[in-house]
Structure 1
C-alpha cells in the first residue's frame, strides 16, 4: 500500500524565524491520519532564518537524524561536541538518558533541513553524536545509507542509531529510475526534496511524503533532478 501525503496537506509550524512542515502529526499540529509509522514519529521539513535557531534545550530517549539540504547548521551540546554542518551532511544524535544541545543557523542565508525522529530500541544509555558528509556524486543513481540500526550497514560506513530503521539518500537526475527491494517490515517513508517523481504509478510532487506499507519493491523515476530521502523500518 502506498499512501500519498501532499505537501499542502502537512501540518504547519511557524515562528518568527522557523517555518516547518510536519509529515507526522505532532501534538495538535497536523492531520490525525498522519500517524507515526512504527518507530518513525517525526519528519519535519524545516527552514531556519539567518542568524536564528534553537538555544540549549534537552532531549531524552529519541534518535534524531538531521539531513542538511541547503545552507548550514551549527550544532553544540553539553558533551563538548560542536560542528558546522553544511549541505549534504548528516548528523545523528542519540539522546540517551538526556542530552542538552543547541541548533542554530549562524549564516547569512536560510538553512533547509529534514529532521527525523525515531523511538529507540531501548531507553536510557549514554548520549552519542556523530556526523558525516555524503557528496552528491557518491549517491547519484543509487541509495546510500546515512544512518542505520543494522550492524551490517554500520560496518560499511553508516552512522549507528539505536532504532529499527535505516536512513538513506539518493540523487536522481531527470529521467533516471531506481528500484529498491523492501526488506524487514517492508515499511518505509520517503520524500523527494526538489523535483517530481513517480513512486510506482503514483506521481509525487517535490516535498510530498509517501508512506509505504507491505510492498516487496518500490520503483522510482525522476521527472526533474532531485534528492530522495527514505527511512526504511527494519
Structure 2
C-alpha cells in the first residue's frame, strides 16, 4: 500500500484538515516539525512516509481566497523528483492552465522542477471536458470524486457515468479527513466497482494507523492519501508494498 502524504495550504500555512470544516482549520501542530512552514512540512511528510508523491490541497484557491502560487513554485523548485498533485479548485481547463502558467513563470528560469499534476475535484469542477483537455496536453490529470455523508459533491450537473474518468481517480470522503474515524471503505469499494478497467482508484481520508492501511489494501486499494496519522507519527516510514 502506497501512502501519499497530503499538504493542506491556507493563508500561507500548512493547516490541519478536520472533517472538511475549513473555517475551523488552524496552522498545523505536527510531531514532525515545530513549524507550519510549507517547505519544512513537505520535506518532513515525504521523509516520514518514504513517498515520492505529494498531494497538495490549495485551500486558498479552493475557497476562492487566492492561490498559493509563490509557495507552489518554491515547492516545485525545492523538491525535484517528487511528483506534486495539485488540487486548487479548478473549475475547468482554462483555470487550471492559467495557474500552471503562473507557477511556471514564478519558477523560471529554473529547469529542474518537480512534475506538477492537476487534480480536478468535483466540488469545484464545472466542465468535465477539462480532464480530456488536460490529458491531450500531456498532463495526466487526476479526478477527485468528492463526497460528504456518502453523497457526491458536485459544483455542476456532471455526467454521473464513469466513461469520462481518467486513469487515476481519488475516492475522497471529506468528512473522514482528519477524523480518526477510519477509512470510508464503502465509498471506496463502490467507486472501484464502477471504475473502468484502466482506472486506478486511490483512497483518501480516515486512516489512523498501519492496520487501517492493511484493511484498505484488502479491498483492492493500492494507495491512500494520509495527513494526520503522519503528523501524529501513527505511521512511520510507510512505503509501497
Q: TM-score range by the shorter chain?
A: 0.3 to 0.5
TM-score (norm 1): 0.35
TM-score (norm 2): 0.34
Higher strand share: 1
Higher relative contact order (CA 8 A, sep 6+): 2
